[in-house]
A and B are shown apart, each in its own frame.
Chain A
Amino acid sequence: DAGVIQSPRHEVTEMGQEVTLRCKPISGHDYLFWYRQTMMRGLELLIYFNNNVPIDDSGMPEDRFSAKMPNASFSTLKIQPSEPRDSAVYFCASSLFYSEGADTEAFFGQGTRLTVV
């Protein structure tokens, strides 16, 4: 498996524009996580899915952010409209269902560096 694949790797957009980040999890993984990383706030969990269903979106900062997982192999994180303070690195991760003794570590993608000017 090629691991978690995110696209694009870099995105520069103007304030007010819509931005869509994409993630392909590892095949067979049940969980998908979206994180945001900034110098000020570190790694923040935005939302996560289990079997394509959003479980906890309490980390999504505002209504401008939305995430979907239409099937087990694809997820999107959308920001509309984007603002300069959304500039960050966005990571996607996937893992198997947690159970005692199982190999349930999360695997992270390389991230998307978003710059909103």
Chain B
Amino acid sequence: DAKTTQPPSMDCAEGRAANLPCNHSTISGNEYVYWYRQIHSQGPQYIIHGLKNNETNEMASLIITEDRKSSTLILPHATLRDTAVYYCIVRVARPDKLIFGTGTRLQVFP
């Protein structure tokens, strides 16, 4: 399985953009980058995923570098409710399991 590297923790001021980096230098050409987050005590929640193009949805934006060796999840206007652990995962095409690393603990402060 391709592995990912994320910083263990980050802080962000409420209302500012939170930029969460992820390195996945061994990613294969047909593997997607997925982002999930886990708010305290809850099950992980899907945020966004992408292959090579940048993606945006109502929750976040995903920027993937041209060589696909790294990506950044952007929460454009972080709120206190965005405080969570964010996981960057490279999805293995076959089999279809999700392997979670240690993630980045994002703390949004007032």
Q: Is the Cβ of B46 less than 8 Å from the Cβ of A107?
A: yes
Count how many chain B residues have C-beta atoms less than 8 Å from C-beta atoms of the other chain. Answer: 25
Interface pair A55/B98, CB less than 8 Å apart: no
Q: Which residues of B contact A55 (CB under 8 A)?
A: 95
When distances are taken between beta carbons in the complex, the residues of chain B under 8 Å from A43 are 38, 44, 87, 100
Can you give 5 contacting A-B residue pairs, CB < 8 Å?
A42-B100, A42-B101, A43-B44, A105-B49, A111-B41
Complex interface bits, A42-61 against B, C-beta within 8 A gives 1, otherwise 0: 11010010100001100000
CB contacts (< 8 Å) of A105 on chain B: these are 34, 46, 49
Q: Does B93 contact A (CB under 8 A)?
A: yes
Interface presence of A106 (CB below 8 A): yes
Interface residues of A in 21-56 (CB under 8 A from B): 31, 33, 35, 42-43, 45, 48, 50, 55-56
Instruction: For the A-B complex with A31-B96, A108-B44 known, give 12 more contacts whose Cβ atoms are closer than 8 Å.
Output: A4-B43, A35-B100, A43-B87, A48-B97, A56-B95, A91-B43, A93-B98, A98-B96, A104-B96, A105-B46, A105-B49, A106-B46
User: Which single residue of chain A is at the shortest CB-CB distance from B92?
Assistant: A98
**Are A45 and B49 in contact, CB atoms less than 8 angstroms apart?**
no
Contacts of B43 in A (CB 8 A): 4, 91, 93, 108-111
Contact A108/B45 with A42-B102, A98-B91 known, Cβ cut-off 8 Å: yes
Number of interface residues of A (CB under 8 A): 26
What's the nearest-Cβ distance from chain B to residue A109, in Å? 6
In the assembly, what is the distance between CA of A6 and CA of B41, in Å?
14
Is A76 close to B, CB under 8 A? no
Contact with A along B52-90 (1 / 0, CB 8 A): 000000000000000000000000000000000001000
Contact A45 B45 (CB under 8 A): no
Q: Chain B contacts of A91 at CB under 8 A? A: 43-44
Closest chain B residue to A106, Cβ basis: B98
